Structure 1
Amino acid sequence: MNPIFTLKHFCFKILKRLARNYVPRVVIFLIDVCISILSAQFTFFLISSVGEKKLKFIHLNWEFASLVIIQILFFIIFKSYAGVVRYTGFKDSIKQLQTTIATVVTLIIINELIYNIYQTKILVNGGAIIYGFIAFSMLFLFRVIVKRVYQLIHAEYTSTKAYILGTSLTDVAIAESIISDSRTNFEIVGFISEISKLKRTRILTLPIVTFEQLEHKKIRGGTSVIVSSQKLRELATADSDILSQLLELNLKIYKLPDLQDWSGESISSEIKKVNLEDLLQRTPIKLQREKLSTIYKDKVILVTGAAGSIGSDIVRQLIRFKPKTILMLDQAETPLHHMSLELESQYPNLHFEKIIANVRNFKRLESIFDYFQPEIVFHGAAYKHVPMMEANPIEALDVNFIGTKNLTDLSVQFKISRFVFVSTDKAVNPTNIMGASKRCAEIYLQSVARAKTSNTRFITTRFGNVLGSNGSVIPHFKAQIENLGPVTVTHPDITRYFMTIDEACQLVLEAGAMGNGGEIYVFDMGKPVKIIDLAKQMIRLSGFIPYEDIDIVYTGLRPGEKLYEELLADKENTLPTHHQKILIAKASYNFDSEKLILLKNLQNQISNNNVVKSIDVLKKLVPEFIPLTEKERQKNAI
């Protein structure tokens, strides 16, 4: 075995042991004393070499002892030995400087006093200054050497070799901070230039490389790249392909959060792995906080589906506006319990109620409205899984349509000021029961809003898929990647709109505040994302190579699934609002007595559990709905 490797491995084991148990202060103190003794010997040797013909290497006299005792005294006074040596920094150097300056000044003062009395000195004043230089240099050098050795051996075994993306002053400052951090798990090996032509080739003695060099493997020293959050946002919102290039080079991407989001003292502890949400993020939303506060503050607000992905985040978003009470309603006991524990822990002063109820149960809902007297309703409870609802059409219609109708009717009855309905892009030109049931709910909501029978403002919000929501494609892909694949995609050309949960819920609150009643608000979802590209990015973010480490297979479109989703129907157009990410879908749906009769008839057929007649009525009510054939439905039905 290589003896150098064996020595390094032995040293690393010692350092690991020291990392768990810091060296006692008394040991550092004794080392500092030894350094001061050695410095004093050097000083006396230098003085003797000038004044005497015969060199004297060892000095053991009262002058030497006095110098060492004075130095030890200031070690104790300033506690310069108290710091952790491997974390030596600027403060430690100041501490050593204070100790040596105090020793030199004290030595000169004692010299003058003794000289005035006995006409002798411990050490000539020039020698005292020489001692100060030697002692400070050796004390600080000892700490720097220990720190550097620790970093080198630690880096050899545990550090991730990483590039810094960019060559700006900020990027260089990040690199310097990481390099000087003794607790870092990263070894900076260079900078990646965002432009192909280089004006210089090195920064901080580290090489600057281009994407072309990395792609052709002309230079390859790192396995990861660190990027600031600000730059990450700029790249993600500018439709840049730089992040995709990094992933294709099989480089793991890490981000450094904004300074205000730091939670620790070490810069390296703040560096986190980039996730899919970071790559798909868009321009941050600017909410009209003052306006929202006037609407939601001191109000009793009911949120249905409060334990789900969207509902729970609506609750969290509402908290900042200080509502009087938040009524969290859901039929799922365990998730609602977990949500309650979270709120009790993080918001001890928040007044909320946890309510187990099913939106299909009108009497139960009526008692809740009567007892708690909510003023605003956010309706997020729904069945949303397309294939599952294709197999259970009555359940989809019962929850998504009847449940919404129940809450709408009660909102009129109890004079709710605002009712905000969370719909979906699948309600546009639906090909599945889930989308058609949501479209029915939209139609009923609009019919009540147009009837002018109450002062309730009924507002519909319509958006696409939400990253990381329960049952979405993201957790599904994560589970498949954890099991080393294969990752299943239904079709190579299938696309979907995506936004983050936080963004979606902020826009729901904003739309809920701006609505006058009867509008369908459509959110700007950005560009649709190909699901195959999403799968590849997730595989690369997990440190694997698509089709090599983890395979991707196509399974075919599921029942009721479309290749692409739409946010507007064919006959709809949009009107702008004051918020650039929210548009009003100007619907052309004609409400006549026949349509109102159909809505009533649909309710009756659902109550009778008649699947065939329910779907027949549904097709008349939503003429753009093109369902599966009866044969296909019977094949998938339960």
Structure 2
Amino acid sequence: MQLPRSVKRVVSLVADSAALLLALAIAYCLSFSLNMPVHLWQWAGVYVGLAVGSLAIFTKLGLYRAVVRYVSIRALGLVFAGVFVATLWLYALVHFIGVALPLEAVVNFGLVALLLIGGSRLAMREMYHRMVSRRKTRVMIYGAGSAGRQLAQALINGEQFHPVVFVDDDVTLQRSTILGIPVIDPSRVAEAVRSSHVERILLALPSAPRSVRKQILESLEPLNVRVQTVPGMADMVNGELAIDALQDVHIEDLLGRDPVDPEPALMQQHIRGKVVLVTGAGGSIGSELCRQIIQQKPAALVLYELSEYGLYSIDNELRAMAARLGLDVPIYPMIGTVQRRNRVEAVMKAFKVQTVYHAAAYKHVPLVEFNMVEGVRNNVFGTWYTAEAAIAAGVEQFVLISTDKAVRPTNVMGTTKRLSELVLQGLASRADVSTRFCMVRFGNVLGSSGSVVPLFKRQIAEGGPVTVTHPEITRYFMTIPEAAQLVIQAGTMGTSGSVFVLDMGEPVRIVDLARKMIHLSGLEVRDASNPHGDISIEFSGLRPGEKLYEELLIGDNVVECAHPRICQAQEAFLPWAEMSGLLDALDDACQNFKIDELRALLLSAPCGYAPTEDGVNDLLWLHRL
């Protein structure tokens, strides 16, 4: 039970009084052996005067305001100062009262009192920490640098974790102790986890490249110990997160892909001082584009979004961000659908938009399979109407956010995105068009609404199972900020009608990703070889229109660009006259709900559409009367 603060102070006063008496007795015995002192009443007077004066001195110095469990060097300094003054006070007392106590005895008193009063506080602090540490989670800190030391100090003073060992590859730190915690080399991690009963490993490497973090995580994965990490250096410098605000391992660390710093000239070229409009501004890609754009100081930023809540959220976030960064950028939140050309055109003309990033699209493969008409309307016609509005409004630059699913598509969503590329390529070939069109194609982004990562995290937190569609399914991954930066930079390259492809790195097997996430959560995969594991991985089968492998290029004809992670695809397209005829036919099929005819048109279009299964999956078509 916690004692009241006043009671603790009384206990401290009594303990210090006893320590002063014991120190005085020891000092006397060291000078006069074990002989009993004469004139006990005089010595009683010396002790009472010493105790009253010393405790008053200690109180004045604030010694009893210090919490024993957090005794620091400063508190010990107060003890030293207090004992020093108390020793002088004793010297004055013995001369005033007239008892025989030599100078060396007074000095001995000071030394013994310092040992008893200061040592008792250190002993109490150590006892407290030992008692508390038994209830705390035993952790290993990977990284004994500045971040690791700060983390250890924060954890020692906290109530949740007890650091028992540091790991660091710096040979000058190994075989030493920091804050009383031993430092070992990485080769001894597994042994230390077992011998020290480590329940969690904390990565204190906020500045390490992702490639290094990936190597470390791969070495820790077989241990089946939960791994967490301290915030990034930027978050700590900005004051957004404290050193002990532990986070689960970021999935980008598992991929080990280090982003390339954006080139300022490319980032600013079509944004700085210009009016920029982002369609789908409330989505995962659209919202990140807005965050990146506002930092480049556009003349104004127009947010075009159909979802009221999505628009409200990104508008509030951007206004707060602008205030924090001291940016004077007008922000205009506009509700609207890209399927209404007159609305889009009116917005572009009203704000004199110069650059457009078209991120609005339906992108969930199964949902577009089940809603073919809306998928075609939003992705194909939404792109066409927005592009025509841009031409009419005199927009200078129009960038389409495309997808790797547009390459040899096996689903309606990918086919509609390839058709939207063909629309812009056809428009770019028209003689009456001055707007510069380009398309940027990339794969999955981490943390987007369609990413498997949030799903896996939720399934692991709920105890499983983790569902994967197929054992061999692979995907490319990229972080949302990197994708947005590359989109902006790619939009400055090439000529009108260019298709750009982002370097997504190496493809990742989704089942391997699931296993790593389970292991780094401190859990084991339950399967035939380990029936007593924690979480099983179940294969649900490929969804309608889903491919095992995604591609980024239709052919091998690519041109390198100024940026190392951007290349330009050289692909065939339809002249506008043919594209216009195809759009008229698609419009008629959608308008009259001729799903079978719509599917036939998609199959015959020059998109390479090759569905993985026969028949139509549109739910209204399947349930028609």
Same fold, TM-score > 0.5, yes or no: yes
Aligned pairs for 1:285-324 (under 5 A) are 285-289=260-264, 292-293=267-268, 295-324=270-299
Say whether residues 1:586 and 2:570 are aligned partners. Answer: yes
Q: Distance in 2 between matches of 1:574 and 1:122?
A: 99
- In structure 2, the partner of 1:557 is 542
* SS of 1:570 mapped into structure 2: coil
CA RMSD after TM alignment: 3.8
Partner deviation per Cα, 1:157-176 (whole Å, 9 max, x = no partner)? 2x22222336x666974686
- In structure 2, the partner of 1:222 is 198
Closer/same/farther in 2, CA of residues 130 and 518 from structure 1, 3 Å limit: farther
Say whether residues 1:153 and 2:131 are aligned partners. Answer: yes
Aligned pairs for 1:183-582 (under 5 A) are 183=158, 185-191=160-166, 206=182, 208=184, 214=190, 219=195, 221-230=197-206, 233-234=208-209, 236-238=210-212, 241-258=215-232, 261-262=235-236, 269-289=244-264, 292-293=267-268, 295-343=270-318, 347=322, 351-451=330-430, 453-514=432-493, 517-547=496-526, 548-577=533-562, 579-582=563-566
Partner deviation per Cα, 1:32-86 (whole Å, 9 max, x = no partner)? 4641552254235413541477234987544333333332333233212212221
Opposite residue 328 of structure 1, the aligned amino acid is L
Q: CA deviation at 1:240?
A: 5.1
Q: CA deviation at 1:155?
A: 1.9
| Unmatched segments (≥5 aa) in structure 2 | 527-532
Opposite residue 248 of structure 1, the aligned amino acid is P
Q: Which moved more, 1:619-628 or 1:256-265?
A: 256-265
Closer/same/farther in 2, CA of residues 623 and 439 from structure 1, 3 Å limit: closer
Q: Which moved more, 1:505-514 or 1:558-567?
A: 505-514
Are the aligned partners of 2:409 and 2:607 in contact in 1 as well (CA < 8 Å)? no
* SS of 2:140 mapped into structure 1: strand
Q: Distance in 1 between matches of 2:161 and 2:523?
A: 20
Q: CA deviation at 1:504?
A: 1.6
Q: CA deviation at 1:600?
A: 4.9
Q: CA deviation at 1:435?
A: 0.7
Q: Distance in 1 between matches of 2:160 and 2:613?
A: 59
- In structure 1, the partner of 2:8 is 27
Closer/same/farther in 2, CA of residues 39 and 176 from structure 1, 3 Å limit: farther
Q: CA deviation at 1:593?
A: 4.4
- In structure 1, the partner of 2:529 is none
Q: CA deviation at 1:192?
A: 5.5
Aligned pair count reads 607
Are the aligned partners of 1:193 and 1:211 in contact in 2 as well (CA < 8 Å)? no
Say whether residues 1:131 and 2:109 are aligned partners. Answer: yes
- In structure 2, the partner of 1:631 is 615
Q: Which moved more, 1:263-272 or 1:73-82?
A: 263-272
Q: CA deviation at 1:356?
A: 1.9
Q: CA deviation at 1:300?
A: 2.8
Q: CA deviation at 1:449?
A: 2.7
Q: CA deviation at 1:339?
A: 3.3
Partner deviation per Cα, 1:349-390 (whole Å, 9 max, x = no partner)? 764232221111112222222333322222111011112212
Are the aligned partners of 2:369 and 2:618 in contact in 1 as well (CA < 8 Å)? no
TM-score (norm 1): 0.83
Say whether residues 1:91 and 2:74 are aligned partners. Answer: yes
Are the aligned partners of 2:214 and 2:253 in contact in 1 as well (CA < 8 Å)? no
Q: Distance in 1 between matches of 2:100 and 2:426?
A: 102
Are the aligned partners of 1:575 and 1:585 in contact in 2 as well (CA < 8 Å)? no
Closer/same/farther in 2, CA of residues 198 and 219 from structure 1, 3 Å limit: farther
- In structure 2, the partner of 1:143 is 121
* SS of 1:262 mapped into structure 2: helix
Q: Distance in 2 between matches of 1:598 and 1:142?
A: 88
Are the aligned partners of 1:466 and 1:472 in contact in 2 as well (CA < 8 Å)? yes
TM-score (norm 2): 0.85
* SS of 1:553 mapped into structure 2: strand
Are the aligned partners of 2:132 and 2:159 in contact in 1 as well (CA < 8 Å)? no
- In structure 2, the partner of 1:7 is none
Q: CA deviation at 1:282?
A: 2.1
Q: CA deviation at 1:308?
A: 1.4
Aligned pairs for 1:27-106 (under 5 A) are 27-28=8-9, 31-32=12-13, 34-51=15-32, 54-56=35-37, 60-104=43-87
Partner deviation per Cα, 1:605-636 (whole Å, 9 max, x = no partner)? 44454334444443444242223565354789
Are the aligned partners of 2:426 and 2:575 in contact in 1 as well (CA < 8 Å)? yes
What percentage of residue pairs aligned between the two structures are identical?
31
| Unmatched segments (≥5 aa) in structure 1 | 1-13
Q: CA deviation at 1:303?
A: 1.5
Are the aligned partners of 2:474 and 2:548 in contact in 1 as well (CA < 8 Å)? yes
